[in-house]
Structure 1
């Protein structure tokens, strides 16, 4: 039997140990030393059977934890027993008001704690079993009911020689139309239950065909007027069959089935049969099934005709070739047309009973006051997540992709309103035809690297824009199921062309400066710009030259190499100014020196017939820029996040959580190193944890003294560090590793001068993805560590524990 899980939230390790000792080994325990840690655990996975919660804790106290649990409805899923020394009525009343199941005072009474925990777990376990039992019974009844409907409809299909998909398709199309209808109007008062019943009843729409002679039913050619008159009787005959039933006629399902059977061939203009009903006199259930039946008949092969393609069928229906339908329903059909293209011949949902089971079980649980799933709350939060994402973006092309349907809803804000919105099938080759194979694979890899914890990434893509190609920035956020945390459900994103987003030129146009007066005006403009930017210069990327304007406005090289500014004696890879010159436009990007980072704007100009580029450079000092694999993201201050959550409090460098949160943005780093402190356990054992903390802080300081501000150091484990270099020559990368080793060897701990420190380093270059680079670097690091031990280079063995205690006592 699987052990139940108890989450103990208390800042006192002694209290946590006492509680586990009292409760024994029959439970699985999870510990949290403060409220914030407990909330993080619950955010990751709701698999806790009981929480024991203290009130007075640092960072977030017990009542603040209860506030969060009530906010996200976790209190309905997890019973809470409050444990505290506070015996005031106010504290006890507040705890019960916020949903706790019980309140136990300290000091602990073993008998009381053990039995109250057992009773609470039994109560909630019984409630959960009841919930699952009820859900299973509802599901079984629904399956039996739908099975009987399926058998009856299959009898009709078999006799009519129709494909087995006919009824399934009618149900799927009916549901699509109904859901779009309730989104557009509330006039028909259709609830979730009504939609499920109409969908089920639609399977019986042609049951009257069992009364039609088979030679008419399956005639391959056109029916005569007499034969067609017989065929039309199936609608009324189906209604008669249902009316002769001696039970169930008071049920809503029966009413819908009767309406659909009799009137699914009625038409909006009164020219249908059998009763010639007109307009809204036709029940809405029959109207919807009639439209679904016509579309499916057109797109399916019959003994008397070939199948029409989707677009032709839609055009025929909207053009009135198949009779008159409710104009509002025709709008619904047009709206769902993109989804019909790919879903009309496949099940809309892998579990056809899911919606009804959820509805009935939720209703029952609400009446019984049992723990219930916060599905609606999570749906609203998912919608809010999408809204917040889109609100943070401006302009460009925005899209929302649904993984179930495979469709992408695309909004191009640069188009006129009537052409702004489109829906595309992501499985169609044309959807990504503008991407090169290389960029398409980069996009696939970036998508595959996302998780629920790190859902967002950014890449730069080279896309055609008219007769030119522009570098465009793509930002994507993947969406994940709350019921199945590992299940990817879609994505939202934005594509921006930085060149098109600039509404007016930053300076005089190229034509304006192509005169003597214009050249002098440019010289004056450059003097003004130097008051704004850190560096303003003219360059010729074809010769890697920096250019100057003399007093007469003549442009000539000044003898400097333009790449020298970037600590690079040769041409820059992916030079932004070269692209701006080739495309005769304005571009921008991030660029790095060995110590600093700059935002670069490159503008094409033509001076007296000589093409060149105006570069404007702004040094960045706030936050940390990540520029890997085309990704541009300003972390820290720019994202308005509390960076304390991502910092290691001991070493004041980035923590493992930082790596997990921004992992997709760190993809593409050119150089990756793993650093591990040698003999660190021996240092802790012999000199104490306080000295161990000092060692880690000094080692981090030594590493920082050897790297650039653009490099990223992360405390990856206890004494293991991950070091990432975005742009650097490989020989410099090797030199940096040696510099770090030497810097660590020079560390002196004043209290223990005999303590000599060292680190083992493994580094790789040009390995992707990042996970593989880390794996290879880790392997090399352990190879170096083995060499370190076998060659006897490790630190001088510390004195024995007894001697060391004496040293520390002095």
Structure 2
């Protein structure tokens, strides 16, 4: 049965949605959204929409804002949009087309026009998709045929030479990885993606000249005579001549590169190679890279005249110069991709990890009773979509993809220049985690171990070295699972972001223009809204260390105050993100301290009536809007439509159990975890009543709060049980803190009930992860402490 095309109707008036569905009839499948926010949310989880009918004037997010999001994530390239609106102003219609709308239909609806325009747009996009697929299929088929012919030709040479059938695959693999590492280190050779593809393909033909060398020489098990070696050397010029005859008929870049590789892949950096004795950069980079790849694979592969060397021995022989002289920069590249090559030797070249993966795929095929060709492609697309959705929700920082089979992590550091941005690490190598403490490494491993196909994401704060100091970084992870075998873990994607690079989602800020024509009066209105979220909102000119203000007429002027005076540091800020936000014309975040308090600072560049400045928004950390005491801040409360009361225990003022359960994963980095229980609390309730019990709990919570830091977290975990979390504290200091808490509780005087005194039992652990295990152990220790009373 033919599948129906899917149309999303986005309109805040249900009657309009019903009218459109009635006009279009039942030949389409419909998805409805009552506003722009709902539409964007639906698109984030389902991009199989064939057409969107979009209203302009809607609450929460209007049609233009939806189009902005669709342009930002490139959805507009795949999903056509028809605007449906009663607006008749020309500038509104023009704006809709500028934002990417395909058509504009005015209300009241004409059923004939609606049906024809919807069908025309759907047909147009369906034809475009079909044509794209046809072109893609043709290109893919042509590339596959080219690779197949090159593979056949190269395998003929391998067959005559009695080499491993994988020799060509290895040469191409090592060549590509060397080239990719090379372009990260230098732009000296000006290699494009097309160049890399052509060199990698042409590398398969490097020994084509051996087709004219006698097999008795090629396969001789002993040492060659000088005469035999001279004959072997001719394969370079013979191969070049074969390619040269093809060049005379077709001047293609691939043939030119193949000619260079065939003739010069035995040249050496010091001039002692053959056939022409080229020196240094006289050798084309294509031939240099293939020469190094050829030597590496020759060492690790079994030949008729030798056994295979292991990876480490082969690397030592090449790096020490035993196998000839090579470009020092290429040797550095080879050394840096050594972890990848080791895994390739242990994996692609026949070891257990890849065999296990092959077995797993075979088992999945057997379960499905048929070869899942289309399923496999679909699952690959879904996996890529899952990764893209994860990365699309993030911004900048260091991103990585981890493959559990190969144990390799592909890392992209967006803070680095392009030539240094990409790298690959072998997680089996301990040096991969040299910047990560053992404690954080085990926390990360434990957190990954408890992910499931249903709960794939978590985040935590970790400490990383920064020069001679350390700084907190936010790590977000998303585990990946096989769709064909749901319980099979296949890897993870993640991102590491420094706190001051994390940009919270503040819908209010979307309305603050960063252009040259921001109006001062509009900024004043936004100020009043932002003051409902932040403790301090101000404008500064960091270039002149001045605090600014906007008068009633919307004019920006200096107040005479020094912008750094708030921080009580007696001078300019050492790491002023407002200065950076001004110079980069962006928004940055950081943590900053006064002598008494810690603040979360958001600095956003603005240009008001042509004058550049920075909007600073500050929130005090100890007022309860911080849900991750590890040094990062999960912005909640009014900016997200949430209230502190949702996560606060009304009686004690501590955090509630709901807060703990909602943000459990953000607490995984806690160094110390304690359980505090009120002794004989039932007797208090039975003797004096529940009102007295409430007084006791309230005063005990206040006593505990008086002993802890603003970065520590106190949670009312049960009726008379408290959970206390310390982000950074030694066991010695934790025990000292426990004694302080016990004395503070014992010294409480209940004026309403002067006849009784209370005590608490405490159990705590340090360095135990995950947090639920830490709570379990702390609870056991608390009961042991209680039994000593």
Confirm or deny a common fold (TM above 0.5).
yes
Paired with 2:473 and 2:253, the residues of 1 have a C-alpha distance of 50
Residue in structure 2 matched with residue 698 of structure 1 by the alignment: none
Paired with 2:33 and 2:301, the residues of 1 have a C-alpha distance of 60
Q: 1:665 Cα shift?
A: 4.1
Paired with 2:638 and 2:449, the residues of 1 have a C-alpha distance of 28
Paired with 2:316 and 2:397, the residues of 1 have a C-alpha distance of 38
Residue in structure 1 matched with residue 295 of structure 2 by the alignment: 294
Q: Deviations over 1:472-531 (max 9, x none)?
A: 9996322589xx9x98553345999xxxxxxxxxxxxxxxxxxxxxxxxxxxxxxxxxxx
Residue in structure 2 matched with residue 21 of structure 1 by the alignment: 22
Paired with 2:700 and 2:108, the residues of 1 have a C-alpha distance of 53
Q: Are residues 1:490 and 2:485 paired? A: no
Q: Are residues 1:119 and 2:114 paired? A: no
Paired with 2:645 and 2:720, the residues of 1 have a C-alpha distance of 31
Paired with 1:206 and 1:333, the residues of 2 have a C-alpha distance of 22
Residue in structure 2 matched with residue 194 of structure 1 by the alignment: 195
Paired with 1:104 and 1:619, the residues of 2 have a C-alpha distance of 50
User: Are the aligned partners of 1:83 and 1:104 in contact in 2 as well (CA < 8 Å)?
Assistant: yes
C-alpha distance 107-406 of structure 1, shift in aligned 2 (>3 A): same
C-alpha distance 11-189 of structure 1, shift in aligned 2 (>3 A): same
Q: 1:623 Cα shift?
A: 2.7
Q: Are residues 1:477 and 2:476 paired? A: yes
Residue in structure 1 matched with residue 635 of structure 2 by the alignment: 640
**SS state of the match for residue 12, structure 2?**
coil
**SS state of the match for residue 99, structure 1?**
coil
Paired with 1:650 and 1:13, the residues of 2 have a C-alpha distance of 34
Residue in structure 2 matched with residue 175 of structure 1 by the alignment: 176
Residue in structure 1 matched with residue 263 of structure 2 by the alignment: 262
Residue in structure 1 matched with residue 154 of structure 2 by the alignment: 153
Q: Which moved more, 1:645-654 or 1:295-304?
A: 645-654
Paired with 2:269 and 2:431, the residues of 1 have a C-alpha distance of 38
Paired with 1:3 and 1:104, the residues of 2 have a C-alpha distance of 23
Q: 1:185 Cα shift?
A: 2.2
Aligned match of 1:623 in 609, 622, 625? 625
Q: Deviations over 1:747-790 (max 9, x none)?
A: xxxxxxxxxxxxxxxxxxxxx999xxxxxxxxxxxxxxxxxxxx
C-alpha distance 474-645 of structure 1, shift in aligned 2 (>3 A): closer
Q: 1:428 Cα shift?
A: 6.0
Residue in structure 2 matched with residue 105 of structure 1 by the alignment: 106
Q: Are residues 1:442 and 2:443 paired? A: no
Aligned match of 2:459 in 443, 456, 463? 456
C-alpha distance 430-244 of structure 1, shift in aligned 2 (>3 A): closer
Paired with 1:124 and 1:339, the residues of 2 have a C-alpha distance of 43
C-alpha distance 492-69 of structure 1, shift in aligned 2 (>3 A): closer
Paired with 1:300 and 1:450, the residues of 2 have a C-alpha distance of 44
Paired with 2:137 and 2:147, the residues of 1 have a C-alpha distance of 15
Paired with 1:42 and 1:648, the residues of 2 have a C-alpha distance of 28
User: Are the aligned partners of 2:247 and 2:255 in contact in 1 as well (CA < 8 Å)?
Assistant: no
Matches within 5 A, 1:750-761: none
Paired with 1:147 and 1:710, the residues of 2 have a C-alpha distance of 77
User: Are the aligned partners of 1:208 and 1:235 in contact in 2 as well (CA < 8 Å)?
Assistant: yes
**SS state of the match for residue 232, structure 1?**
helix
Residue in structure 2 matched with residue 678 of structure 1 by the alignment: none
Paired with 2:85 and 2:411, the residues of 1 have a C-alpha distance of 54
Structure 1 gap ranges (5+): 351-374, 391-398, 412-420, 461-471, 497-598, 600-617, 627-631, 671-703, 712-724, 734-767, 771-810
User: Are the aligned partners of 2:636 and 2:642 in contact in 1 as well (CA < 8 Å)?
Assistant: no
Matches within 5 A, 1:511-522: none
Compute the RMSD of aligned alpha carbons: 5.1
Paired with 1:260 and 1:202, the residues of 2 have a C-alpha distance of 7
Q: 1:409 Cα shift?
A: 8.8
Paired with 1:648 and 1:17, the residues of 2 have a C-alpha distance of 36
Paired with 1:709 and 1:151, the residues of 2 have a C-alpha distance of 83
**SS state of the match for residue 31, structure 1?**
strand
**SS state of the match for residue 144, structure 2?**
helix
C-alpha distance 646-143 of structure 1, shift in aligned 2 (>3 A): farther
C-alpha distance 123-195 of structure 1, shift in aligned 2 (>3 A): same
User: Are the aligned partners of 1:400 and 1:409 in contact in 2 as well (CA < 8 Å)?
Assistant: yes
Q: 1:619 Cα shift?
A: 11
Q: 1:262 Cα shift?
A: 1.1
Q: Deviations over 1:350-391 (max 9, x none)?
A: 9xxxxxxxxxxxxxxxxxxxxxxxx99x9899599474479x
User: Are the aligned partners of 2:447 and 2:458 in contact in 1 as well (CA < 8 Å)?
Assistant: no
Residue in structure 1 matched with residue 80 of structure 2 by the alignment: 79
Q: 1:651 Cα shift?
A: 9.4
Q: 1:404 Cα shift?
A: 7.7
Paired with 2:260 and 2:447, the residues of 1 have a C-alpha distance of 51
Residue in structure 2 matched with residue 53 of structure 1 by the alignment: 54
User: Are the aligned partners of 1:646 and 1:658 in contact in 2 as well (CA < 8 Å)?
Assistant: no
Q: 1:269 Cα shift?
A: 1.6
Q: Deviations over 1:34-93 (max 9, x none)?
A: 112222222333222111111111111111222222222222121110011111111111
Structure 2 gap ranges (5+): 358-383, 413-421, 464-470, 500-597, 599-619, 649-654, 674-693, 702-714, 724-769, 773-789
Residue in structure 2 matched with residue 91 of structure 1 by the alignment: 92
C-alpha distance 105-492 of structure 1, shift in aligned 2 (>3 A): closer
Q: Which moved more, 1:327-336 or 1:197-206?
A: 327-336
Matches within 5 A, 1:576-591: none
Q: Deviations over 1:195-217 (max 9, x none)?
A: 11110110111111122222211
User: Are the aligned partners of 2:398 and 2:497 in contact in 1 as well (CA < 8 Å)?
Assistant: no
User: Are the aligned partners of 1:7 and 1:32 in contact in 2 as well (CA < 8 Å)?
Assistant: yes
Q: 1:123 Cα shift?
A: 0.4
Residue in structure 2 matched with residue 313 of structure 1 by the alignment: 314
Paired with 2:202 and 2:323, the residues of 1 have a C-alpha distance of 23
Q: 1:666 Cα shift?
A: 7.8
**SS state of the match for residue 337, structure 2?**
helix
**SS state of the match for residue 28, structure 1?**
strand
Aligned residue pairs total 512
Matches within 5 A, 1:396-435: 406-407=407-408, 425-427=426-428
C-alpha distance 126-664 of structure 1, shift in aligned 2 (>3 A): farther
C-alpha distance 769-112 of structure 1, shift in aligned 2 (>3 A): farther
Q: 1:247 Cα shift?
A: 7.0
Q: 1:306 Cα shift?
A: 2.0
Paired with 1:732 and 1:435, the residues of 2 have a C-alpha distance of 26
Paired with 1:137 and 1:217, the residues of 2 have a C-alpha distance of 39
Residue in structure 2 matched with residue 133 of structure 1 by the alignment: 134
Q: 1:405 Cα shift?
A: 5.4
Residue in structure 2 matched with residue 238 of structure 1 by the alignment: 239
Q: Deviations over 1:450-470 (max 9, x none)?
A: 867x4424699xxxxxxxxxx
Residue in structure 2 matched with residue 250 of structure 1 by the alignment: 251
User: Are the aligned partners of 2:339 and 2:429 in contact in 1 as well (CA < 8 Å)?
Assistant: no
Q: 1:443 Cα shift?
A: 3.2
* TM-score, normalised with respect to structure 1: 0.54
C-alpha distance 239-181 of structure 1, shift in aligned 2 (>3 A): same
Q: 1:250 Cα shift?
A: 0.8
